[in-house]
Amino acid sequence: MSIGKMNAFIELQEKKIINDDESFGTAVYKTLHSVRAYKEEIQDAGRRFKQWINAAAYANATDLFRFRVIPGFNVTTDYFINHKDRLFNIIAVDNESGKGLYVDVLAENIERSVS
């Protein structure tokens, strides 16, 4: 994939719950890596990606992100993606073509709670 198609700047983040004195939790997102990515909005992940065709869990996916593998960092469904102040929950992660060059991530756009 050419660098020209990877024109979205994303942040891979992890969610931490910080408890105050009264034990009320507040979600805080910590940025682990900032990378360039290819972003595509999708309607139906199953039609587009054969490996996910029979998985109903991926029906909620709204976006596909593709970015280069980050050496020493394993992207999992425990992380989130921040793109243009929109938060995406990672639903599935796949190593594109098995060569270890790119990572495909299916993600669902979620709304942040405002306090």
What is the CATH architecture of 8-110?
Beta Barrel (2.40)
> CA–CA separation, 66 vs 112, rounded Å?
23
> CA–CA separation, 86 vs 25, rounded Å?
21
> CA–CA separation, 58 vs 77, rounded Å?
12
Q: What is the pLDDT along the chain (115 residues), one digit of tens a residue?
A: 666 788 999 999 999 999 988 889 988 999 999 999 999 887 654 455 555 555 555 667 889 999 999 999 999 999 999 999 899 999 989 876 667 789 999 999 997 554 4
Report the 10 Å Cβ neighbour count for 91. Answer: 20
Q: Hey, what are 105's tokens?
A: 């991530």
